[in-house]
Amino acid sequence: MELLRLDNNTLEPRWILENYKSLIWTERYFELGEFKLVYEKPMFYQMPPGEGPAAYQPPSIGEYLACTESPAIMKIESVDATQQENGTFQWTLSGRSVEAILEQRTTMLASNPQKEYWTRTGSAGGNASVLINSIVSQGLGYGGAADNITELDTPVQSGGPNVTSKVKQGSLYTRVREILTPYGLGFFIRRNATTKKLQLEIYNGLDRTSTQSSRPVVAFNVEAGDFAESTYLRSIKEDKATAYVRGRTMSRIIGSPDSGLTRKVVYVDASDVQPDDGDEFTILGERGQAAIDAAIEVQMFDGKLQPNNQFVYERDYKLGDIVQIDSYVHGYHAKARVIERILSADVNGVRTYPTFKTTQQLN
């Protein structure tokens, strides 16, 4: 696995970093990715023809990295230099994925900075992309054009159900996640090879299980040897099936009609809904269902994939997609979303650890 140091202006690969001691490279669907790189000087570079001595400068805070086994881009956010007992120094570089740039913007709008909420009705993906576009491309944020990120293309997109998104002022990154996550949507910022700019993508993972027929099936099987190691976790601790939703002028019960010991209720405060937000009855229903969808029984499966397993990441499936996991040992046959992928590289080679979260149990 080659680690690439990017040009800070064009984000094009400029140097290949070699002789590092270890690398952990983590992509996530619902959260920021992160990396940790450990090396001891000297770390060697393969340089393009004509590059001068400046290319030998070590990577520093604020620079961007990529690797050949992942589409993610990471930013170096911290450097730790440690002198070891033998007198040598060890450097540890760490940071997060480039989506973190949205943490540097807020949802405050120049048109009305005192307004507590931003509201829009449309697809969840459309609402999120319009909010991002307004702040970082249209100059509508409280900072005006200063909040624009000219290196980032933010096309308005769609995806997910039609909902009324009511967003409280705060971090743009956090609020976008709050719009998307309840509906299984994620977003990536990747480099567009044609435009040579960063580009936003709202992503609604594709179903690649045997329950559909429009695309090739991706089904991992423990007994068939797709995993070198595997772990299965099931928990009903946070599971809820009914929501009691309290609004400004009315209240609603959403969800299961269960009673007695099987009834599992979550309280939702929707008293912030105002007359100009839309129909209160409908919005309370959306809030209640979103709370139920977020408080479900947890089934997690993770493992170390065999290097020669039959499916290739980014070709057959990608982060956020829904694949099939079959394990007779664990009694687990399910649709599961790829929510995380860890790449680990050291003297023992490269290993891949995906994490899957169950979306539907299969018979």
Tokens 């990017």 locate to: 6
Which residues have a Cβ under 8 Å from the Cβ of 17 and sit 6 or more positions away? Answer: 2, 3, 4, 5, 39, 43, 44, 45, 59, 65
Which residues have a Cβ under 8 Å from the Cβ of 268 and sit 6 or more positions away? Answer: 243, 244, 245, 246, 287, 288, 291
Do residues 182 and 266 lie in contact, with contact meaning Cβ atoms separated by under 8 Å? no
Q: How does residue 23 score in pLDDT terms, banded at 50, 70 and 90?
A: very high
Q: What is the pLDDT of residue 13?
A: 87
The whole-chain average pLDDT of the chain stands at 89
Structure tokens at 20: 């590092």
Q: How does residue 295 score in pLDDT terms, banded at 50, 70 and 90?
A: confident
Do residues 355 and 300 lie in contact, with contact meaning Cβ atoms separated by under 8 Å? yes
Q: How does residue 45 score in pLDDT terms, banded at 50, 70 and 90?
A: low
CA-CA-CA-CA torsion for 171, 177, 180, 181, nearest 10 degrees? -150
Backbone angles phi, psi at 145, to 5 degrees: -60, -25
Tokens 């669907």 locate to: 29
Backbone angles phi, psi at 58, to 5 degrees: -65, 155
With a cut of 60, say whether residue 44 has pLDDT above it: no
CA atoms within 13 A on the CB side of 39: 18
| pLDDT tens digits for range 181-191 | 999 999 999 99
Burial 304-327 (b: 16+ CB within 10 A, else e): bbeeebebebeeebbbbbbbbbbb
Which residues have a Cβ under 8 Å from the Cβ of 145 and sit 6 or more positions away? Answer: 139
Q: What is the pLDDT of residue 263?
A: 94
Q: How does residue 293 score in pLDDT terms, banded at 50, 70 and 90?
A: confident
Q: What is the pLDDT of residue 47?
A: 60
Q: What is the pLDDT of residue 85?
A: 80
Nearest to 218 by CA among 330, 106, 312: 312
Which residues have a Cβ under 8 Å from the Cβ of 285 and sit 6 or more positions away? Answer: 245, 252, 254
Cα–Cα distance for residue pair 204/29, rounded to 1 Å? 10
Which residues have a Cβ under 8 Å from the Cβ of 150 and sit 6 or more positions away? Answer: none
For the residues 284-303, what does the mean pLDDT come to?
85
For the residues 82-104, what does the mean pLDDT come to?
90
Is the preceding omega at residue 257 within 30 degrees of 0, hence cis? no
Backbone angles phi, psi at 213, to 5 degrees: -130, 10
Cα–Cα distance for residue pair 273/247, rounded to 1 Å? 7
Q: What is the pLDDT of residue 305?
A: 85
Least confident of 42-46, 87-91, 154-158: 42-46
| pLDDT tens digits for range 227-271 | 888 888 888 888 899 999 999 999 999 999 999 999 999 999 999
Do residues 196 and 301 lie in contact, with contact meaning Cβ atoms separated by under 8 Å? no
Residue 119 is classified by DSSP as E
